[in-house]
């Protein structure tokens, strides 16, 4: 095996950018950077030849690629292909020569380092990161591996990850032949990073000569996975000057586990708000970034780590998003008015461009692909998987608090709702841009405006603001818990269980009928537990089921849901659980499991109560299920004028908190259906009638020592937040994207009140 292309193993310092077909994009770029003298941790690559040899010598290739012949637009087929292909790779034994070569290379690496080294084992696909396509994050990486056998196992897992569903989907859509994409695996000394992050050597959307650095504590995992809000520094490349710094609240970090693998833990209190990078580190990184950009002749997306005072570069690839207007973001340029084709309600901020896909029926959902604009009469809960992948959503019906609006805000997908006629005016394949903040749909692709040059002159540093009024976050999907926690919110003011239940695909009563209650309770325990752990010890108020009958009918076993003329006024909320007690008991058993696990930060919130007897009955059933009233937060949502006006009777019944569900409180006070786009102009959460009810309840609760909060959409409005602070509310729970604006508004309102008090009564007043 003298020819390098025949080798199973090559050392990183022996390769360069010409070796993509041998060591993949990542390996070639690391070798290239080592060769121009940049600080890159040493290691070797298990070559693409080794992978190809594995396929040939074990004769699994034909079978493997046959598994991939599926329609990738069908989720089920794609999942099946993934399962079969990965399973085949993992269960096929590695041939002897490859096995021995990996073991011996790892031992040599240990010898070079003078100890048994911990390594990062990273996939490097041979078609990776071409200028027009980023395969970023599609294949696996295993950090902190040690011991020859474990390294071999990790290599095998990297090979298998070439057949992850998302990778199969992406290759198919980008026109790559599966059998022509091989994989190399990089085994590289792991730097025990104390700080890590990413760096764009030019602005990632406008291409301006500005370096953007994101930094967080610990290994790079938290930044790359989006699990933490990193510090953000902007540097003017020409002037070599830091022009903006945003210091975020960094709640979690990933660190090496002494026994291998990586663990996530809370950032120590004193480092949460602290600036991660020193000024000289920022400038040194920028300089390295410029060397890399110059060397490659194109802006780069670089991953870096720092241990002690040494910077290491662990990855560099071309930025693939510059001038790509389909990226969602803010700041669209002023378009000429004739380009506007449709208007509605701006329900989820951001700009999204793509081809229209009209979905008339749930069976057509697979049509809406990544990067498309999903257009439909009104979204339903079963559309959530598509709502995650598309670039934007447009609906005929709905208002700010309809299902489509709530879900798309949480998923971060731009949305315009209540356009009345989107499905008539738009046509499949038409290219449009939506502005989810202003509620406008434009024809074609609208380019984002370049930020003004003046911005360079400003040096802005933002620290997390501490407010007396707590600012919490609403959440519906457990997989977004880390993202929600990264906002630094003071807890979860509303965790809706409906989406967890809908994602089980089977109606709760079907679980009961089939004698599978334990399975249902287990799933609820797991999903709620995920959120409770991400926020522990901050409070997480979980709302018991509040699903209108129409939303559950399409689930397996949901056929018995009653047909109601007006589901909004129907069998939902606590009234449903109190007549379908078996379901309520299952929820309570899940809560009991969580309390038994020590997740005492979980609180229970009852929706749509209108009479104190409902609270009384619910408490009785809780006691029957072994829950100890008084050991956890128990509260109700104030969503009906009846409840608001008789709040004293509820207080008498005994409760720890109330939370305003203004989405419902508004519709029931003003007689305006929150889902009806025709009357959306009348829907006003700040109507004097609604505000009076809120103020009245806060006053009564304050006197009785009951905590007050809000979790309706109104809590995400900075203007409403100001009013609520003036009323004396204890906490405000808003959408993930609104937490920081609301916090700012709360702080301003609190300071205004202190200032007014001093002005009126002198400094002794505070």
Between CA 674 and CA 678, with CA 676 as vertex, the angle to 5 degrees is 130
Strands (E), 421-529: 431-435, 440-443, 460-462, 470-475, 492-496
Interacting partner of 573 out of Mg ion, ligand PEP, none (Cβ under 5 to 8 A depending on kind):
none
Q: Residue 61 in contact with residue 55, Cβ under 8 Å?
A: yes
Question: In the bound complex, what is the minimum distance in angstroms from residue 643's beta carbon to ligand PEP?
Answer: 12
Contacts of 138 (CB under 8 A, 6+ apart): 125, 161, 164, 166, 167, 170
Interacting partner of 23 out of ligand PEP, Mg ion, none (Cβ under 5 to 8 A depending on kind):
none
Active site residue 403: yes
Question: In the bound complex, what is the minimum distance in angstroms from residue 412's beta carbon to ligand PEP?
Answer: 18
Distance, in Å, from the CA atom of 272 to the CA atom of 128, rounded to the nearest integer, reads: 35
Nearer to ligand PEP, 372 or 664 (CB): 664
**What does residue 579 show for φ and ψ, rounded to 5 degrees?**
-105, -10
Question: In the bound complex, what is the minimum distance in angstroms from residue 660's beta carbon to ligand PEP?
Answer: 7
Interacting partner of 662 out of ligand PEP, Mg ion, none (Cβ under 5 to 8 A depending on kind):
ligand PEP
Question: In the bound complex, what is the minimum distance in angstroms from residue 547's beta carbon to ligand PEP?
Answer: 9
Active site residue 158: no
H-helix or E-strand containing 707?
strand 707-710
Question: Which residue shows structure tokens 């315009």?
Answer: 416
Interacting partner of 129 out of ligand PEP, Mg ion, none (Cβ under 5 to 8 A depending on kind):
none
Q: Residue 479 in contact with residue 499, Cβ under 8 Å?
A: no
Interacting partner of 397 out of ligand PEP, Mg ion, none (Cβ under 5 to 8 A depending on kind):
none
649: left (phi over 0), alpha (psi -120 to 50) or beta: alpha
Question: In the bound complex, what is the minimum distance in angstroms from residue 745's beta carbon to ligand PEP?
Answer: 19
Positions touching ligand PEP (CB under 6 A) are: 401, 494, 496, 546, 639, 661-664, 711-712
Q: Which of 202, 480, 185 is nearest to 321 (CA)?
A: 202
Candidates 178, 203, 254, 403; catalytic one: 403
Nearer to ligand PEP, 60 or 682 (CB): 682
Q: How far is CA 19 from CA 13, 25, 124, 539, in A?
A: 12, 8, 12, 52
Distance, in Å, from the CA atom of 700 to the CA atom of 706, rounded to the nearest integer, reads: 9
Nearer to Mg ion, 49 or 640 (CB): 640
Question: In the bound complex, what is the minimum distance in angstroms from residue 551's beta carbon to ligand PEP?
Answer: 11
Nearer to ligand PEP, 50 or 714 (CB): 714
Candidates 158, 402, 701, 711; catalytic one: 711
Nearer to ligand PEP, 316 or 662 (CB): 662
Could you give the 3-state DSSP secondary structure of residue 434?
A: strand
Positions touching Mg ion (CB under 5 A) are: 639, 661, 664
Contacts of 426 (CB under 8 A, 6+ apart): 341, 342, 356, 358, 375, 394, 432, 441
Side-by-side strand order, sheet with 707-710: 707-710, 657-660, 634-638, 602-606, 540-543, 492-496, 470-475, 731-734
Question: In the bound complex, what is the minimum distance in angstroms from residue 539's beta carbon to ligand PEP?
Answer: 16
Nearer to ligand PEP, 476 or 656 (CB): 476
Question: In the bound complex, what is the minimum distance in angstroms from residue 303's beta carbon to ligand PEP?
Answer: 39
Distance, in Å, from the CA atom of 552 to the CA atom of 561, rounded to the nearest integer, reads: 7
Contacts of 543 (CB under 8 A, 6+ apart): 494, 495, 496, 497, 605, 606, 607, 637
Nearer to ligand PEP, 496 or 589 (CB): 496
Nearer to ligand PEP, 157 or 576 (CB): 576
In DSSP terms, 306 is beta-bridged to 195, 311
What residues act catalytically? 403, 711
């Amino acid at each position: 095996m003298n020819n390098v292309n025949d080798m199973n193993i090559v050392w990183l310092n022996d390769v360069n950018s010409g070796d993509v077909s041998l060591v993949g994009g990542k390996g070639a770029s690391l070798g290239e950077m080592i060769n121009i003298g940049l600080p890159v941790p040493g290691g070797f690559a298990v070559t693409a030849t080794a992978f190809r040899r594995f396929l040939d010598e074990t004769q699994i290739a034909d079978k493997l690629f046959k598994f991939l012949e599926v329609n990738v637009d069908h989720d089920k087929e794609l999942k099946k292909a993934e399962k079969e292909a990965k399973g085949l790779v993992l269960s096929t034994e590695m041939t002897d020569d490859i096995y021995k070569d990996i073991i011996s290379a790892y031992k040599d690496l240990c010898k070079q380092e003078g100890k048994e080294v911990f390594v990062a084992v990273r996939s490097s696909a041979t078609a990776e990161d071409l200028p027009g396509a980023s395969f970023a994050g599609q294949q696996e990486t295993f950090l902190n591996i040690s011991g020859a056998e474990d390294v071999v196992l990790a290599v095998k897992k990297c090979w298998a990850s070439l057949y992850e569903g998302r990778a199969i989907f992406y290759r198919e859509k980008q026109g790559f032949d599966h059998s022509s994409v091989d994989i190399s695996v990089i085994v590289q000394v792991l730097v025990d990073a104390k700080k890590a992050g990413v760096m764009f050597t030019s602005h990632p959307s406008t291409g301006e000569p500005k370096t953007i650095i994101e930094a967080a504590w610990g290994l790079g995992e938290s930044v790359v996975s989006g699990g933490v809000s990193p510090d953000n520094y902007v540097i003017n490349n020409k002037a070599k000057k830091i022009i903006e710094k945003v210091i975020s609240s960094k709640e979690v970090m990933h660190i090496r586990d002494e026994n291998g693998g990586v663990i996530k833990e809370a950032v120590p209190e004193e480092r949460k708000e602290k600036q991660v990078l020193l000024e000289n580190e920022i400038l040194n990184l920028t300089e390295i970034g410029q060397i890399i950009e110059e060397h490659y002749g194109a802006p780069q997306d670089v991953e870096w780590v720092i241990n002690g005072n040494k910077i290491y570069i662990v990855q560099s690839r071309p930025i693939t998003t510059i001038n790509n207007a389909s990226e969602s973001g803010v700041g669209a340029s002023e378009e000429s008015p004739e380009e506007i084709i449709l208007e509605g309600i701006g329900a989820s901020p951001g700009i999204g461009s793509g081809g229209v896909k009209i979905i008339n029926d749930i069976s057509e959902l697979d049509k809406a692909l990544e990067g498309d604009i999903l257009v439909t009469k009104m979204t339903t809960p079963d559309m959530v998987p598509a709502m995650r992948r598309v670039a934007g959503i447009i609906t005929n019906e709905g208002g700010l608090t309809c299902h489509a609006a709530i879900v798309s805000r949480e998923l971060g997908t731009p949305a315009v709702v209540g356009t009345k006629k989107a499905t008539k005016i738009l046509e499949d394949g038409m290219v449009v841009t939506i502005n989810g903040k202003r509620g406008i749909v434009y024809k074609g692709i609208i380019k984002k405006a370049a930020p003004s040059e003046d911005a360079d002159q400003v040096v802005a540093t933002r620290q997390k603001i501490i407010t007396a009024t707590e600012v919490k976050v609403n959440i519906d999907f457990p997989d977004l818990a880390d993202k929600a926690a990264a906002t630094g919110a003071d807890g979860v003011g509303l965790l809706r269980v409906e989406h967890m239940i809908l994602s089980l695909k089977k109606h709760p009563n079907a679980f009961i009928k089939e004698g599978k209650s334990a399975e249902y309770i287990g799933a609820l325990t797991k999903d709620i537990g995920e959120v409770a752990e991400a926020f522990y010890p901050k409070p997480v108020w979980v709302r018991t089921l509040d699903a209108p009958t129409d939303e559950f009918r399409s689930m397996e076993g949901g056929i018995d849901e009653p047909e109601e003329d007006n589901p909004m006024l129907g069998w939902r909320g606590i009234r449903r659980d109190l007549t379908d007690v078996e379901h309520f008991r299952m929820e309570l058993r899940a809560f009991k499991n969580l309390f038994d696990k020590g997740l005492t930060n979980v609180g229970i919130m009852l929706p749509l109560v209108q009479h104190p007897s409902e609270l009384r009955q619910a408490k009785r059933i809780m006691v029957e299920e072994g829950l100890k009233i008084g050991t956890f937060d128990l509260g109700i949502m104030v969503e009906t004028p009846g409840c608001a006006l008789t709040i004293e009777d509820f207080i008498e019944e005994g409760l720890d908190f109330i939370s305003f569900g203004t989405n419902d409180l508004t519709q029931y006070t003003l007689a305006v259906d929150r889902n009806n786009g025709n009357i959306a102009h009348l829907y006003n959460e700040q109507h004097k009638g609604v505000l009076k009810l809120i103020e009245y309840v806060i006053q009564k609760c304050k006197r009785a020592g009951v905590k007050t909060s809000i979790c309706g959409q109104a809590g995400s409005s900075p203007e409403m937040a100001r009013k609520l602070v003036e009323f004396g509310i204890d906490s405000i729970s808003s959408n993930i994207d609104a937490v920081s604006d609301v916090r700012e508004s709360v702080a301003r309102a609190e300071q205004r009140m202190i200032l007014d008090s001093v002005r009126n009564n002198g400094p002794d007043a505070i």
